[in-house]
Chain A
Amino acid sequence: MQVPILKQGAYLIATVQSALTDEDLKQLRDTLVVSVSKVRARGVIVDVTALDVIDSFATRTLRDVAHMIRLRGAETVIVGIQPEVAFSMVKLGLSLEGIATSLDLEEGLAYLDRKGKGPEHEVRTHR
Chain B
Amino acid sequence: MRSALIADEVRVPIDRDADIVTARQKGRELATQCGLLSTDLAVVATAISELARNIVRYAARGEIIVRRVDENGKRGVEVVAVDEGPGIPDVTLAMQDGYSTSGGLGLGLPGTRRLMDEFEIISDFGKGTTVTVRRWKR
Alpha-carbon distance A88/B24, docked complex (angstroms): 14
Contacts of B108 in A (CB 8 A): 56
Considering only CB atoms, which chain B residue lies closest to A57 in the complex? B53
Q: Interface majority SS on A: helix, strand, loop or mixed? A: helix
Contact: A93 with B17, CB < 8 Å? no
Asked if B105 is at the interface of the complex by the 8 Å CB criterion, the answer is yes
Contacts of B112 in A (CB 8 A): 92
Asked if A55 is at the interface of the complex by the 8 Å CB criterion, the answer is yes
Contacts of A60 in B (CB 8 A): 104-105
Q: How far is the CB of B56 from chain A (nearest CB, A)?
A: 8
Alpha-carbon distance A92/B105, docked complex (angstroms): 11
Q: Interface majority SS on B: helix, strand, loop or mixed? A: helix
What per-residue 1/0 map shows which CB atoms of B38-56 lie under 8 Å from chain A?
Answer: 1101110110011001000
Contacts of A56 in B (CB 8 A): 50, 53, 104-105, 107-108, 111
Asked if A6 is at the interface of the complex by the 8 Å CB criterion, the answer is no
Q: How far is the CB of A97 from chain B (nearest CB, A)?
A: 13
Asked if B110 is at the interface of the complex by the 8 Å CB criterion, the answer is yes
Asked if B20 is at the interface of the complex by the 8 Å CB criterion, the answer is yes
Task: From B24, B38, B50, give the contact of A92 (CB < 8 A).
Answer: B50
Q: Which residues of B are in contact with A by a Cβ distance under 8 Å?
A: 17-18, 20-21, 24-25, 28, 38-39, 41-43, 45-46, 49-50, 53, 97, 104-105, 107-108, 110-112, 114-115
Please give 13 more A-B residue pairs, beta carbons under 8 A apart, in addition to A52-B45, A56-B53, A92-B50. Answer: A19-B24, A19-B25, A21-B17, A21-B21, A53-B42, A56-B105, A57-B104, A82-B42, A88-B46, A91-B43, A91-B111, A92-B114, A93-B97
